[in-house]
Amino acid sequence: TAAEVFVAGALAKMAATLLTYPVLLVKSRLQASSKSDDSAMRYDGTIDALRRIVREEGYGAFYRGMGTKMTQTVFASALMFAAKEEIVKA
């Protein structure tokens, strides 16, 4: 049913977001640091960014702000899967 597909899509997107959010955070930090004039905000690469984030902010920094992203992407993905299911049935 569409409800089952909605729940399955939501759970799948939640798992994917949990795994990929830290990667997106590091990518964003690296992009922002390349434009920064402050040498303390610059990273020397991915490994340096990972180490400094853990050392200076802790592991929780990788998931800070994820609630908003989770709400946005999980709901959108679940709706998309449910809509697709209904379209395929028709």
Give CA–CA dist 77/45, Å, rounded.
32
Find where tokens 């434009």 sit: 35
Q: Which helix (H) or strand (E) holds 6?
A: helix 2-34
Give CA–CA dist 33/27, Å, rounded.
10
Q: What is the pTM of this model?
A: 0.76
pLDDT value of position 48: 94
Find where tokens 């004039």 sit: 37
pLDDT value of position 58: 95
Compute the chain's Rg from CA coordinates: 18
pLDDT value of position 42: 87
Could you tell me the CA-to-CA distances from 25 to 48, 54, 78 in Å, in that order? Answer: 14, 12, 23
| Low-confidence residues of the chain: pLDDT under 70 | none
pLDDT value of position 50: 94
pLDDT value of position 1: 83
pLDDT value of position 24: 93
